[in-house]
Amino acid sequence: MEIIDGRLDVAEQHLSENCDERPNDQVDLIVIHCISLPAGHFGGDFIRALFCNQIDHASHTDFDSLRDMRVSSHLLIRRTGQIQQFVPFHQRAWHAGQSSFDGRNNCNDFSLGIELEGTDTGQFNEIQYARLGETCRCLADAYAIPVKNIVGHSDIAPGRKTDPGVGFDWARLHRLMAG
């Protein structure tokens, strides 16, 4: 696994317009999220469609609240272990929203967002952990990101966000990153 021109070589590439230039080149935070569309359902193309502004809001009642939402993440790790990339790492993806880390606001400015297909109350698959560990290790090496700067969305937006949730095993991720 390697990064070439801001893209992960093993990732299926999809272009999202929901990004822009970073205010500077600083990248020193990885934010782990989770997502499922519709809520609690896995598979399908709805997450890609959301990040690429192509979701059919009439296709499910859960999608009506997403009508004006313009979001993206750098990466999505599906339950199958497939990795999809939506935004090159040198650009700012719109994944964190109102957020703060280590006294700095607007985490999108200096972070990389990784979505796991799942829910904040469920468990994640072995293959997802394996791919996440490998990906975080690659990104941490490339951008000199310390392990303490790999956090959950709930850590940078407490009270507003709960993902990746109670079922996420941080110790497992740290073991996988260690080798």
The residue type at 117: E
Residue with token string 């859960």: 62
Does residue 17 carry a catalytic annotation? Answer: no
For the chain, give the number of residues.
Answer: 179
Q: From CA 7, how far away is CA 42, in angstroms rounded? A: 25
CB 173 within 8 A of CB 132: yes
| Beta-strand pair 150-152/29-35 | parallel
Q: From CA 144, how far away is CA 139, in angstroms rounded? A: 8
Q: Which residues partner with 83 through β-bridges? A: 77
Among 115, 117, 126, 134, which one carries the catalytic annotation? 115
Q: From CA 132, how far away is CA 115, in angstroms rounded? A: 10
Catalytic residues: 115
